[in-house]
Structure 1
């Protein structure tokens, strides 16, 4: 069976071509989407879980590659008093639930896709991300195969995986190759026999193309959880049946900026003042901002490592001694001691979603301090996300500029998609870049998956 797989920064989803139409397959309870999260009681247990889910033909090679991790996993199980078959690694909503239940004890990863193109990764770090992605893909494929078998269809064997134009703002094509290699290897270890890739904005555009009745030059703006990608594409009903669309793709741009960055920015703007970010020392000097940024930068490995390092613990202790409002910094101390970064940023994400419908909302942070409730309003949100949206505007202009025939022309249509773009404050700002173009706000979550699934039918039949 041929499928499209959107391995997203925020969620995963899979589509199949059933009865001459795209059908998204349920991956969770009453949901077609699985949160892109993983929680392990210990990181060494991830390799063990991957090994258990591998096809028999791959186990010997993998066991050789991960011999030390698999040996340590046995020791960890003994230390944690876990039974041989007791589940110790969780994916999706189960990972979120496990993390919230034991935030200080295990290994939690949110949006692993955001790290795949990171520069300077050591071999052991690349191996860890290979295992994280593999385990998530194994989990998804198991669910998908059960869904397909229930419909008397063959298991998923051929897959087109979505990828951003650029996985990282720095690192260039080397970062892209590293990330795509991790995804490709993980898909094959998960049991897919053939793997292909397609730019996510192009996939989203292909789904939208099915609704067009005439040719148009479309600027697809895909604002996802971890990346924003723009593609300028010639579209129209007469182009849909082509197996190769390279000449119709007039320009691309992309950068690692998305919903995660907006959540972090909102957490910094709306929450961190209550943790002391805008407070002063007794000598009237401002409190340094770096520990606050590091505290909420959950998509930056180095920042999180710095925040939870002993040196930051000592810094916060020193700041509390000489602060005008030590009680505020005490909250930062609690956040650091109990490893609450993801929980805090999660509340910012929930506030972002709520502000799509209301002008203000209350964010409960009682897990930090009893009674701590912070009001967040639309003005704070708009101020927090302005720098990020300016970068999105630049990406749109870059995509247009790469079309040698554009000559500063307007696109006919700006098609906005991606989970982050569901906020009116976001898509209204995007629409201002090309005010004369028709603006269409698409399916925020399903458009990329649907496009990948459509393209997969052409791609594998042509190859």
Structure 2
């Protein structure tokens, strides 16, 4: 019977697991599931994970609780728990649901209960904040335990991606790895050498790590703020007193621009405020869209429309932003120039973080021989453009944007020595 090790990349958007056969010294399978959970409206029906969550969400009339981007709440001290189907779920509980799903699918393939894993984690869960990072790591560790893993090591996700890339090399390279995921952008500068692949001690090859709390969700949030929220009443006027009209507080709409907030945007106080604003706005139709969005749990479908626009703009100069459901009608053409303006602040944060990373670790542009991009957000044209402009002389490489990290983690068995 073979011994196995799992490399697990728990991601904001997708999660992947690579099964490493320690005797054959090879990866036998790789699994990928969306990091999604759907709790049925019927509290006795339980929940489903991954692609099934999307199907169930739509089939259930979008009446239950749809959870996306749960990785984002790991570092949020303001989030303690949420009630779903009459039960309490904390951050670790929600993450464990996804990890259990991955483990169960992998265990079925190898017909064993594998409890050994290398788990990926971002360089920074929430920028350079030690307290938040510690909180997130502790919550992740608890989720890993709840999922049934007893023998675990942790590895930075971009290092995992680098080790996967190293297996394709024929000579030594100084590589800058940028792992652009849904929640974070992580950098690693390291020496990769195919002759060193599989060696137990690689510490001296890891020259520098860094990162910033910006990812694909940040780009989508910026788009939602600029292009989406006007359809939900961001500019709505309400009568605060006889003859006195004010604009509905902008803070209300910030809550529908990020998934970790929208998932739990359901307090009675907020619902009451929304009803009052709607009443005193003279029942403004666009503000009614906000009520429809929240009452019918339509957030995921709206963000899918945003995602479609983003993906299309990676290859064309314009794309439709189109959404029509339950009386909510959004239809406009977005040009690439407009989109780049919308996400400019987030892209600037990545540029600033990259420059600070290179300065802090005394990495000259000329030192970098290869730039390796991975993660779903690395496919965005504006992101690739910024790296090409910053390192114009360097060859840009990329691997499998959804599997490379998990595979590299599975190649990190030396951490158990």
| TM-score bucket of the superposed structures, by smaller chain | 0.7 to 0.9
Q: Say whether the 8 Å CA contact 1:298–1:304 is kept in structure 2.
A: no
Report the TM-score when normalising by structure 2: 0.86
Q: Secondary structure at the match of 1:391?
A: helix
Look up the match of 1:459: 415
Identify the residue that residue 229 of structure 2 maps to in structure 1: 272
Shift of 1:378: 2.1
Distance 1:240 1:387, change over 3 A: same
State the alpha-carbon separation in 2 of the partners of residues 139 and 17 from structure 1. 18
Instruction: Report what 2:396 is aligned to.
Output: 439
**CA deviation after TM superposition for structure 1 residue 330, in Å:** 3.0
- 1:415 matched to 2:372: yes
Match status 1:250 vs 2:212? no
Gaps of 5+ in 2: none
Contact 1:294 1:303 in 2 (8 A): no
1:21 aligns with 26
**Which of 94, 105, 112 does residue 143 from structure 1 map onto?**
105
Counterpart-to-counterpart distance in 2, 1:296 and 1:360? 22
SS of residue matched to 2:219 = helix
Q: How far is 1:139 from its partner?
A: 1.5
| Of 131-140 and 363-372, the range deviating more from structure 2 | 363-372
**2:162 pairs with one of 187, 205, 230:** 205
CA distance in 1, matches of 2:179, 2:278: 43
Counterpart position of 2:114: 156
Counterpart Cα distance in 2 of 1:107 and 1:331? 19
What secondary structure is seen at the aligned counterpart in 1 of 2:324? coil
Q: 1:370 to 1:221 in 2, by over 3 A?
A: closer
After alignment, is 416-425 or 359-368 more displaced?
359-368
**Mapped pair 1:320 → 2:276:** no
Of stretches 197-206 and 94-103 in structure 1, the one that deviates more from structure 2 is 94-103
> Do 1:296 and 1:344's aligned partners in 2 also have CA atoms closer than 8 Å?
no
2:95 corresponds in structure 1 to 133
Displacement of 1:445 in angstroms is: 1.1
- Confirm whether residue 346 of structure 1 aligns to residue 304 of structure 2: yes
User: What's the offset of the Cα at 1:455?
Assistant: 1.1
Distance change (3 Å), C-alpha of 1:307 and 1:340: farther
Compute the displacement of 1:22 (Å): 2.8
Q: How far off its partner does 1:279 sit?
A: 6.6
User: Is 1:398 the equivalent of 2:397?
Assistant: no
In the alignment, which residue of structure 1 is the partner of 2:38? 39
Q: 1:7-406 maps to which residues of 2 (within 5 A)?
A: 7-18=10-21, 19-25=24-30, 32-41=31-40, 82=44, 87-102=45-60, 105-122=63-80, 128-149=90-111, 154-169=112-127, 172-277=129-234, 288-300=249-261, 304=265, 309-314=270-275, 316-317=277-278, 320-321=281-282, 326-369=284-327, 372-403=330-361, 405-406=362-363
Measured in 2, the distance between the counterparts of 1:246 and 1:214 equals 19
Change (3 A) 1:307 1:232: farther
Distance (Å, rounded) in 1 between the aligned partners of 2:377 and 2:8: 19
Which structure has the highest helix share of the two? 1
For 1:371 and 1:408, the matched residues in 2 are separated by 47
1:265 offset after TM fit, Å? 1.5
Q: Determine helix, strand or coil for the equivalent of 1:443.
A: coil
Q: Please say if residues 130 and 185 of structure 1, whose CA atoms lie closer than 8 Å, have aligned partners that are also in contact.
A: yes
Q: How many residues are treated as equivalent by the alignment?
A: 404
| 8 Å contact from structure 2 (residues 262, 299) kept in 1 | no
Shifted more, 136-145 versus 286-295: the winner is: 286-295
C-alpha distance 308-89 of structure 1, shift in aligned 2 (>3 A): farther
Q: Determine the C-alpha separation between the residues in 2 that align with 1:8 and 1:329.
A: 33
Is contact 1:230–1:395 with CA below 8 Å preserved after alignment? no
CA contact (8 A) 2:80 2:91 kept: no
Q: Give the number of the structure whose residues are more often strand, by fraction.
A: 2
Contact 1:414 1:439 survives alignment (8 Å): yes
Q: What SS class does the counterpart of residue 395 from structure 1 fall into?
A: helix
Q: Distance in 1 between matches of 2:150 and 2:176?
A: 33
- Give the CA deviation at 1:341: 2.6
Cα deviation digits, residues 311-368 of structure 1 (max 9, x gap): 541453156339xxx3333323322343333332222122212222333333442224
In 1: Cα distance, 2:301 partner to 2:113 partner:
37
Q: Distance in 1 between matches of 2:246 and 2:314?
A: 37
Task: Encode CA deviations 1:276-301: one digit per residue, 9 max, x unaligned.
Answer: 43577898976643322222222336
In the alignment, structure 1 residue 430 sits paired with structure 2 residue 387 = yes
- 4+ aligned runs moved over 4 Å, structure 1: 123-127, 278-288, 305-308, 407-410
1:71 alignment partner in structure 2 = none
The answer to whether the Cα contact below 8 Å between 2:73 and 2:79 also exists between their aligned partners in 1 is: no
* Cα pair 1:320 1:330 within 8 Å, conserved: no
